[in-house]
Amino acid sequence: MTGRGKYETRLDPALWAYIDSVNAWYPPEISGLPVDKQRAVYARMCRAFHQGRPPGVRARDSLVAASKHGIPARRYRLAGAAPHATVLYFHGGGFILGGLESHDDICAEICAGTGFDVLSVDYRLAPEHLHPAAFD
């Protein structure tokens, strides 16, 4: 066993390779650093993994008006396709990391793979914005 416990044989080797790659860029001990340093490491990792947008996917940034602030958002659309649905995407990062750039290619891949529009929302992050700011 390599510290993977009971999951060693339950996950595909390709998935383990991906997990190992993420941990090489963003090892668990990073969570003990100040938030600005965590974000810098996370951003470098996301740039390193970025595959670019699939052909035909277009993205447009906008600001969604809210009662007290604007919410940055990015809409992905497959050129020449009439979307039959919209996927509302909230990036990962535990409410302290990530944004529109960190998950750009993932959203573009969802759009290309489904033909649906994808609306990625750049919610406010903690600790600058305390709960429930991300949801507001």
Q: Where are the domains of the chain?
A: 52-136
- CA dist., res. 15 & res. 87, Å (int): 25
Please confirm whether the linkage preceding 28 is cis (ω < 30° from 0).
Answer: no
Environment class of 126 (CB within 10 Å of its CB; exposed 0-12, middle 13-18, buried 19+): middle
pLDDT at 1: 40
Amino acid 54: pLDDT: 96
Looking at the structure, give the CATH architecture of the domain made up of residues 52-136. Answer: 3-Layer(aba) Sandwich (3.40)
- Confidence (pLDDT) at 60: 97
Residue 46, judged by CB atoms within 10 A of its CB (0-12, 13-18, 19+), counts as buried
Low-confidence ranges of the chain (pLDDT < 50): 1
pLDDT of residue 101: 95
Helix, strand, coil shares, percent, the chain, to 5: 35, 20, 45
Decide: 129 and 99 in contact? Cβ < 8 Å.
Answer: no
The whole-chain average pLDDT of the chain stands at 91
| pTM assigned to the model | 0.83
